[in-house]
């Protein structure tokens, strides 16, 4: 067992790369003060638009705020918001997908009609429409992205439920009188969990990117709270001269997406029984 753990987890290159990339951002989200001592909201007229240097590693913005500190503290906003978004979307999608795949009939038709209608719209466009209707705030952005994302999980879990229902151990549970909720809790969800975990790991970085996109157009946190998408939006005016204002937040978004992609590929290699 220890050898199997060491072979599948500790020797997985994608897992190591993903963890190395994501570790600083996770640390920043937990305790940003360990990485930066500057106040991300403190302005300084004397230090406006300073280029990256030994004092300010990522330079300063148009108000003299330390960009590195704002990027670090931005992780405390972007990563938890993306995680909550995926948790909400996954919870709704799993419940809808299990109900559609297990009971079929009118429940399946109704849920899949709603799911297909939502999937017909580009996810970012649907999230923008919902976010604009709810008003600019981080809560609105999270709810908007989650509302646009849950159909993906509903479609995935429905297919898994239909497949697992045909297995012999599930039919054996039926034959001894197992109740539907017991069958779902003991047989269907545990066997669908690995695919759901892989999907979550892949979607986390995309959720960060989507929330940043909403923040870029003003549907997100309110100023002056440091959030990566809003920081890129504020820096676009100075991009040709003071590129670091929006460049480093954009780099942070890119690294999180790349890191979660490596992590998702690693979890797929480890948890997917059909992979060698």
DSSP characters over 101-124: HHH-HHHHHHHHHHHHHHHTS-HH
- Answer whether residue 145 is part of any domain: yes
Is 47 a domain residue? Answer: no
Q: 161-168 — which CB contacts under 8 Å span 24+ positions?
A: 161/97, 161/98, 161/100, 161/101, 161/102, 161/188, 161/192, 162/101, 164/188, 164/191, 164/192, 165/101, 165/102, 167/191
CATH number of the domain to which 77 belongs: 1.10.3720.10
* 245 close to 66: Cβ distance less than 8 angstroms: no
Residue whose tokens read 């100023």: 223
CA distance 71 to 245: 10
- Residue burial 253-264, b: 16+ Cβ < 10 Å; e: rest: beebbebbbbbb
Taken in order 213, 81, 52, 260, the sign of the CA dihedral is negative
pTM of the entire predicted model: 0.87
* Closest residue by Cα to residue 58 from 247, 236, 257: 247
Pair 215, 228: CB distance under 8 Å: yes
Q: Which pLDDT score, from 0 to 100, does residue 10 have?
A: 67
The verdict on residue 210 lying in a domain is yes
In a domain, 90, yes or no: yes
Residue 32 lies in a domain: no
How confident is the model over 87-100, as a mean pLDDT?
A: 93
pLDDT in tens, 249-274: 999 999 999 999 998 888 887 776 55
Q: Is the residue at 24 inside a domain? A: no
> pLDDT by residue (tens digit) across 125-161?
888 888 888 888 888 899 999 999 999 999 999 999 9
| Region 228-252 average pLDDT | 88
Q: How many domains does the chain have?
A: 1
Q: How far is CA 2 from each of CA 8, 98, 110, 270, 272, rounded to the nearest angstrom? A: 10, 34, 47, 15, 19
Q: Which contacts of 101-105 are long-range, i.e. CB under 8 A and separated by 24 or more positions?
A: 101/157, 101/158, 101/159, 101/160, 101/161, 101/162, 101/165, 102/161, 102/165, 102/180, 102/183, 102/184, 102/188, 103/180
CA separation for the pair 177, 162 (Å, rounded): 19
Share of the chain above pLDDT 90, in %: 28
Lowest mean pLDDT segment, chosen from 14-23, 110-119, 177-186, 256-265: 177-186
The answer to whether position 113 is within a domain reads yes
Residue 95 lies in a domain: yes
Q: What is the pLDDT of residue 272?
A: 66
Cα separations (Å) of 273 from 191, 267, 276? 11, 11, 8
What is the structure's pLDDT at 1?
46
Give the residue numbers spanning the domain of 121. 67-271
């Amino acid at each position: 067992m220890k050898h199997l753990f060491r072979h599948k987890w500790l020797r997985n290159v994608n897992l190591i790369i993903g963890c190395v990339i994501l570790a600083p951002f996770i640390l920043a989200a937990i305790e940003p003060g360990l990485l930066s001592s500057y106040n991300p909201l403190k302005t300084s007229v004397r230090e406006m638009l300073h280029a990256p240097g030994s004092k300010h590693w990522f330079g300063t913005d148009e108000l003299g705020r330390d960009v590195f500190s704002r990027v670090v503290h931005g992780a405390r906003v972007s990563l938890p918001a993306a995680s909550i978004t995926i948790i909400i979307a996954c919870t709704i999608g799993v419940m809808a997908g299990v109900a559609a795949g297990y009971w079929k009939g009118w429940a399946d038709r109704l849920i899949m009609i709603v799911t297909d209608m939502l999937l017909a719209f580009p996810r970012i466009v649907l999230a923008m429409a919902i976010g604009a209707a709810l008003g600019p705030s981080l809560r609105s952005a999270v709810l908007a992205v989650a509302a646009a994302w849950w159909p993906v999980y509903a479609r995935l879990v429905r297919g898994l439920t239909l497949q697992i229902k045909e297995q012999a151990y599930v039919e054996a549970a039926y034959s001894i009188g197992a109740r539907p909720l017991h069958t779902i809790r003991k047989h269907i969800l545990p066997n669908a969990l690995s695919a759901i975990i892989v999907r979550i790991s892949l979607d986390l970085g995309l959720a960060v990117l989507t929330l940043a996109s909403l923040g870029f157009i003003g549907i997100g946190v309110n100023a002056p709270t440091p959030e990566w998408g809003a920081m890129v939006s504020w820096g676009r005016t100075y991009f040709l001269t003071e590129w670091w204002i929006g460049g480093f937040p954009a780099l942070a978004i890119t690294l999180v997406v790349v890191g979660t992609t490596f992590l998702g590929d690693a979890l797929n290699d480890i948890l997917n029984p059909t992979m060698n």
